[in-house]
Structure 1
Amino acid sequence: MSSPALPPNKRRRVTLACSLCRRRKSRCSGDHPCALCQELGAECQYPDSSTPSNLTVGRSYIAQLEQRLQDIESSLQQLHSAQNDGRAILSNRGDHDTPANESLSTVEEHRSVLFPSTLGSHDAAELGEIDISENSIDGMGAMKFTNEEDCGFFGPSSNIAFMRYISRAILQAKSGNELADAVSPTDQRRRGIVNVSKSRPPSPGPTPGRADNLTRNAGVNIYALPSEERTWSLIQQYFLKTGQLLPFIHEPSFCKTYVQMKSERFRAVRRTWLGLLNIILAIAASLSAKDDIPVDKRIQESDIYYQRANGLCDRDSKRNASLEMVQYLLILGQYLQGTQKSVQAWTTHGLAISAAYQLGLHSPDANQGFSPLECEIRKRTWYGCILLDRTLSMTFGRPCTIPESYIKLDMPLSDMQMLGPSLEMEPCPQLDGAFFTAAIKLYTILYNVLDSCYGQNLGFEDPASVSSAISRVFDGQHQLDLWRLQLVPSLGFRIWDTLMNPEDVEKMDKDLIICHRFSIVLSVRYNNLRILLHRRHLESLLKSLGTSDDNSGNAEKRLLRQMSLNSVESCVESAISIISIVHCITLSSSWRRELLGAWNYSLYYTFNAALVIFASLMIISASKEPLNDTSVGIKVNHSRPYIENAIEALRRLDSGNRVIERCVEYLSQLSLILNAMDRNESNPSNSRILNFPVEHSSDIFQSSGLESYMDLGEFMVDGDFDFLADFLVTQNGKHQT
């Protein structure tokens, strides 16, 4: 009997097959390597054993987890890359982000600046959101945006409006006939609307190496700072010039905060304070020529600080309000106006006013709950808003944002120390408080002039009667006289309303440089406001050139004309004073060149004064009645050399500055027109038609920098400059023919 057959061996189940067997759907022996891989001579690989084979969750959920893990790894990789880039920027002194004269501090010192320990996970994640550049493609890639037109209103008090009258007078002198309403591009903008995007060439492409996004192109690290030596130098320059003229930042507290932040390696620094520091560095580097740095290097350096400040505070400025934020926005507005970014300057100023109202800086009741020092800082910040509001309203020709009836605070205190790095000085009378008070009172008169003579720049003509027009000027002049003769001397300052000679500058004592600077700045502002008060009558005479109105039988019109001629004389007197001040100081050396304010304000006042002299000379030359032997005629004819003085002063003001060079070129072309007018006086047979001289004229506009990508903002628009250049070309061609 045969033994029963043994049951066959049960095949061993392999829980995990190798990758090759899984693909071939073959039985895998489970060995390492398995039998099939040995037979085929293939590499035997097994999948990760940590992944369970009997999953009880959906594969879509696993895919989501894997995607989240990839996102986290990608974010960590970006942060790690950003940290490395920041270290490279901080340590590489030759990097394109670092100005030629700037040496950055050590990496260890600024590691906490790049990633402060107080930043939470939310702030750290937002590092990738810093991108202030515009993109023409929308986020979904569904549409492409075209460049939007920038339209700006430049009302009657602006230089652009004044130059419309000058352009019209030049055309009248060219044709010798009465003009139609629409004879030039500037006259077509009678209501003041200027298409800014069409009035200038398209902006050039971005400069290589300049990027505003930290994580995408690591061009500008918003958490970096220059060396301690350079930082202190720029801080001191700010408080020695701009900080004195608008003293709303408490210098001792600011310097103490910087020292404290530096000692703590910026572990607990506020973004708004760091942004305020950077915009102070930006405006100090931009508006000061003390270091003898070439203008292009200075602009490059200041632009880096501006980008850092913008990256730190741009988002918060639209949703958070604090005293530091208002101060930041005020200085940013100054910086933008100095760099001829008129659109951004006006918008930034609006944000500052809104934040100031939100904080109650305008309210005496709201300020009572603060310490005396903080109350004074809040008050001065509010007055800083007011002064900049009046300045922008005057230069851009737009309505004031803050009505005079909203100003209820007391004047700044004179015994409160705002300037000086030490906190241990005893309270004593401070010149900055007296200067600030004088400036506020003067700008109150400015508001009244804008209101009475320019209709608050609302852009409509006010057909005032003769008596009303005369009373407005008399009332404004009376206010100016009281300010000049009573208030200013009581505060210890002097107003230069006559000629300044080089000897007057040489006699100034260096120990009294602050007092001299305040006196000179107030003098230039006073004379400019006096011009603004009388300029409407100057414009009316320019407008009437070439008309056939006979005023001999109209006593009222004769009175108005005489009043207008008196205003011309007043304008010329103040214009000569401004040009003589700027000319004498720019011709001086060493510390005396620091007596002027920021170069952009000196440019504005000097350029405007030269325009006034040119317009007055045209009025006297084209007048139907003889005026050369009258007091106004003698005064105006003697002012002719001051246009050349203005050109020389501007050339010395800031060498290499493209905005200044453009204004100098404009004045040079106006000087050529005056030469043509002088020719006509020697040729009575053709005295009514302007003949342009040929000498040196064809090269003027070819080398004038018309390709410059500058928006001249409050000075002019490119259409005015191009119109004058075309006119000179036409006249030159006719003369040669």
Structure 2
Amino acid sequence: MENSIRQLQSPTSSALVDRQEPRRDPNTPEDSVQSPPTDSVAPGSRSHNTSELGEIDVSESSIDGMGAMKFTDEEDCGFFGPSSNIAFMRYISRAIAKASPHREPTLNSSTPQRECGGKVSVAKSRPPSRGPASGAENLIPSPAVNIYALPSEERTWSLIQQYFYKTGQLLPFIHERSFCETYFQMKRERFSKVRRTWLGLLNIVLAIAASLSTNGDMPAEKRIQESDVYYQRANGLCDRDSRRNASLEMVQYLLILGQYLQGTQKSVQAWTAHGLAISAAYQLGLHSPDANRGFPPLECEIRKRTWFGCVLLDRTLSMTFGRPCAIPESYVKLDMPSQDLQMLSLTAETETHPTLDGSFFTAAIKLYVILYSVLESCYGANLGFEVSTNSIDAMSGIVEGQHRLDEWRLQLLPSLGLEVWDIPTSREDVEKMDTGSVIRHRFNVVLSVRYNNLRILLHRRCLESLLDSFQTQDNTMLTSETRLLQHMGLSSVVSCVESAVSIISAVYNMSSGSGWRRELLGAWNYSLYYTFNAALVIFGSLIVASKERDRNPSAWTMVSHSRPYIDTAAETLRQLDSGNPVVERCQEYLLQLSAILDPLISEKPYADNRLAPHFPTEYSSGLFPLGSSDLVPPMDLGEFMIGQDWDLLGRMFGQPHSEK
């Protein structure tokens, strides 16, 4: 396998698209390249022009591309606003400190950290540290990759199919048949005239397909290495053009690039790529109904869906990084995706239900409209301004948000032939799924996890307020608004826990399966984000509810039954993508949280069951009962290294993470 990876990187790879130095034809468009119609070249016969070889991009930050976990100290300041988990973890860390007043906060010496007003530290991109020998290793020039090479035809076609089987279904803005026809034409012409941007698009498709495939046919480390080679080629082909030329192809490339970078430790680049995609989209008028009308129906639909791809990823990055959306909701004026044009290739299932991808995309867009409103009303649009909102207004915003979620789930989804799981998923539920509706099952699973994640985000504000007021001893000093917040807030806490348990149970039962059912989940980095986030919410909820043990036993009882799901979440991550270093570190983090939780809440009123399969239905009765009515967010570990319980965390995350 190591030899295969080296061959992928080698300029003399046996699968080169460009077997000799690329030549320009005066009659060929500027962004096209020509290559002679030969299939092989003897090693050493190729002249190595450094202009056609790309240097390996080894830049890494200490925060993963989902805006997730901070692994090391930071030298620059970056803004991570209210909706980010770095902000949420501050509430948890302060509550831990209040619950353990005898412990003095300590900072791990290897993770110095500083805050800059509303900002937190963000690492400069730098080559990863590799231990004591890293100094010598860094003196060795980075290897070069041939940006015009491709893997074998068999591997290329396999990865293209994998892309459209999963990622291409969940963000369906590339027309599968047109893309494949372009690839076959390129093969027939023996790669003689290939647009540079299209070749870059192909390589980033190969990169994300290799990165996100977790079906066990290749160890995670080798899969990451292979995907990185394709990323390097795509970056070498399109990095220059992405800043100079705007085209629909380039916007699609940048969107997939942003998705790919979210599964790496290249968080700064993920944010930058997304900004470039939006700028190019505006330049092309993808957002404009008038501009799109001048194109044939298929191209018009592709342009429209590409714009919606920009919108959805904009909302995702805003939520995870805690930064303002770059696309205001008032700029989204296009009609919903067409139900008549099929973006996916025909299968038995799509022939029977030709509107599946359009229905799913419509449901996702409508859900993210609600996400935008939640970020606006509950998190101040992630602007980081100090806004004083009284408890009544805050709860009113939550009630309105839940009402909109209920309408989406109970009215819109059934009209589209889709549904979400709003109760914990059992193994039996998964086994009942039939092979004749794989695409529909995947859409339902992904929408279910996204829905529950948004429900958590909506109600998390109450949990944060309760964490902030944790350990207030004198109830006579509480204002009437504070008492109201506590009363209604505990119901919101239960809502958070219900959705967190639903996420963990769904991802656990899917990831513990095999075959096609395991593939029903979305990308591993999103499953990682949702599962990790859900476990953090349960952790915070248990701390809050422990305060209510004596005063409000029923509130404690409802939340305490979720305790085993923190361990279930850790087990879920273990089986989600074995050998993936980002996943493994997050799993270890959850295990450490679990270890310090029991002393904080003093008692263990839950059954000794580390993998509880169900959340008791008798406790599913929060303010908004479920019956009535979706990489890991940034964390600043130095801030809550409290006592010796956190020593392992400090050692674990004190050094830069090497993503191979």
The TM-score with structure 2 as length reference comes to 0.81
1:153 aligned to 2:79?
A: yes
Provide the residue aligned with 1:649 in structure 2.
572
**For 1:189, which of 99, 103, 115 is the aligned residue?**
115
Equivalent-residue separation in structure 2 for 1:312 and 1:502 (angstroms): 45
Equivalent-residue separation in structure 1 for 2:343 and 2:271 (angstroms): 27
Alpha-carbon deviation of 1:623? Answer: 4.0
Alpha-carbon deviation of 1:151? Answer: 2.5
One-letter amino acid matched to 1:457? N
Provide the residue aligned with 1:671 in structure 2.
594
Preserved contact between residue 56 and residue 145 of structure 2 (Cα < 8 Å):
no
One-letter amino acid matched to 1:387? L
Equivalent-residue separation in structure 2 for 1:644 and 1:730 (angstroms): 18
**For 1:339, which of 264, 269, 280 is the aligned residue?**
264
Provide the residue aligned with 1:175 in structure 2.
101
One-letter amino acid matched to 1:550? N
Structure-2 change in CA distance of 1:610 and 1:282 (3 Å): same
SS of 2:146 mapped into structure 1 = coil
SS of 2:185 mapped into structure 1 = helix
Provide the residue aligned with 1:564 in structure 2.
489
Alpha-carbon deviation of 1:434? Answer: 0.3
Structure having greater relative contact order (Cα 8 Å, sep ≥ 6): 2
Provide the residue aligned with 1:612 in structure 2.
537
Alpha-carbon deviation of 1:106? Answer: 5.4
**For 1:448, which of 352, 363, 373 is the aligned residue?**
373
Preserved contact between residue 497 and residue 527 of structure 1 (Cα < 8 Å):
yes
Preserved contact between residue 575 and residue 612 of structure 1 (Cα < 8 Å):
yes
Equivalent-residue separation in structure 1 for 2:128 and 2:218 (angstroms): 28
One-letter amino acid matched to 2:487? Q
Alpha-carbon deviation of 1:113? Answer: 8.7
1:542 aligned to 2:450?
A: no
Provide the residue aligned with 1:96 in structure 2.
6
Alpha-carbon deviation of 1:295? Answer: 0.7
The TM-score with structure 1 as length reference comes to 0.73
Question: Which range moved further: 592-601 or 656-665?
Answer: 656-665
**For 2:393, which of 447, 452, 468 is the aligned residue?**
468
Unmatched tracts of structure 2, length 5 or more: 35-47, 60-72, 606-630, 650-660
Structure-2 change in CA distance of 1:558 and 1:341 (3 Å): same
Equivalent-residue separation in structure 2 for 1:177 and 1:717 (angstroms): 19
Provide the residue aligned with 1:699 in structure 2.
none
Provide the residue aligned with 2:635 in structure 1.
716
- 1:204-215 matches, within 5 Å, as 204=130
Alignment deviations for residues 419-463 of structure 1 (CA, whole Å, 9 cap, x no partner): 1179xx989732111000000000000000000000000112321
Preserved contact between residue 116 and residue 267 of structure 1 (Cα < 8 Å):
no
Equivalent-residue separation in structure 1 for 2:194 and 2:298 (angstroms): 22
Alignment deviations for residues 27-70 of structure 1 (CA, whole Å, 9 cap, x no partner): xxxxxxxxxxxxxxxxxxxxxxxxxxxxxxxxxxxxxxxxxxxx
Equivalent-residue separation in structure 2 for 1:330 and 1:135 (angstroms): 21
Alpha-carbon deviation of 1:112? Answer: 6.8
Alpha-carbon deviation of 1:293? Answer: 0.4
Equivalent-residue separation in structure 2 for 1:225 and 1:210 (angstroms): 29
Preserved contact between residue 586 and residue 649 of structure 1 (Cα < 8 Å):
yes
Equivalent-residue separation in structure 2 for 1:713 and 1:611 (angstroms): 10
Equivalent-residue separation in structure 1 for 2:74 and 2:567 (angstroms): 40
Preserved contact between residue 80 and residue 322 of structure 2 (Cα < 8 Å):
yes
Unmatched tracts of structure 1, length 5 or more: 1-91, 137-146, 683-711, 732-737
**For 2:363, which of 424, 429, 438 is the aligned residue?**
438
Structure-2 change in CA distance of 1:173 and 1:492 (3 Å): same
Structure-2 change in CA distance of 1:649 and 1:724 (3 Å): farther
Structure-2 change in CA distance of 1:160 and 1:678 (3 Å): closer
Structure-2 change in CA distance of 1:636 and 1:110 (3 Å): same
Equivalent-residue separation in structure 1 for 2:459 and 2:362 (angstroms): 25
State the superposition RMSD in angstroms: 3.5
One-letter amino acid matched to 2:94? R
**For 1:274, which of 199, 204, 208 is the aligned residue?**
199
Preserved contact between residue 393 and residue 400 of structure 1 (Cα < 8 Å):
yes
Structure-2 change in CA distance of 1:639 and 1:553 (3 Å): closer
Preserved contact between residue 191 and residue 459 of structure 1 (Cα < 8 Å):
no
- 1:342-491 matches, within 5 Å, as 342-420=267-345, 429-491=354-416
SS of 2:289 mapped into structure 1 = coil
Equivalent-residue separation in structure 1 for 2:104 and 2:466 (angstroms): 14
SS of 2:6 mapped into structure 1 = coil
One-letter amino acid matched to 2:171? L
SS of 2:491 mapped into structure 1 = helix
Preserved contact between residue 164 and residue 187 of structure 1 (Cα < 8 Å):
no
Identity %: 64
Question: Which range moved further: 216-225 or 336-345?
Answer: 216-225
Structure-2 change in CA distance of 1:418 and 1:676 (3 Å): same
**For 1:638, which of 561, 572, 593 is the aligned residue?**
561
Structure-2 change in CA distance of 1:428 and 1:582 (3 Å): closer
Equivalent-residue separation in structure 1 for 2:31 and 2:559 (angstroms): 69
Alpha-carbon deviation of 1:170? Answer: 1.2
Alignment deviations for residues 2-47 of structure 1 (CA, whole Å, 9 cap, x no partner): xxxxxxxxxxxxxxxxxxxxxxxxxxxxxxxxxxxxxxxxxxxxxx
Structure-2 change in CA distance of 1:261 and 1:360 (3 Å): same
Equivalent-residue separation in structure 2 for 1:479 and 1:206 (angstroms): 55
Equivalent-residue separation in structure 1 for 2:449 and 2:481 (angstroms): 34
Equivalent-residue separation in structure 2 for 1:603 and 1:553 (angstroms): 39
One-letter amino acid matched to 2:638? G
Equivalent-residue separation in structure 1 for 2:247 and 2:139 (angstroms): 30
Alpha-carbon deviation of 1:716? Answer: 2.3
1:661 aligned to 2:580?
A: no
One-letter amino acid matched to 2:635? M
Preserved contact between residue 283 and residue 331 of structure 1 (Cα < 8 Å):
yes
Preserved contact between residue 583 and residue 645 of structure 1 (Cα < 8 Å):
yes
- 1:218-257 matches, within 5 Å, as 219-257=144-182
**For 1:582, which of 492, 500, 507 is the aligned residue?**
507
Provide the residue aligned with 1:86 in structure 2.
none
Alpha-carbon deviation of 1:494? Answer: 1.5
Q: How many residues align?
A: 585
Alignment deviations for residues 338-387 of structure 1 (CA, whole Å, 9 cap, x no partner): 11311100011000000000000000000011000000000000000000
Structure-2 change in CA distance of 1:247 and 1:111 (3 Å): same
Structure-2 change in CA distance of 1:615 and 1:332 (3 Å): same
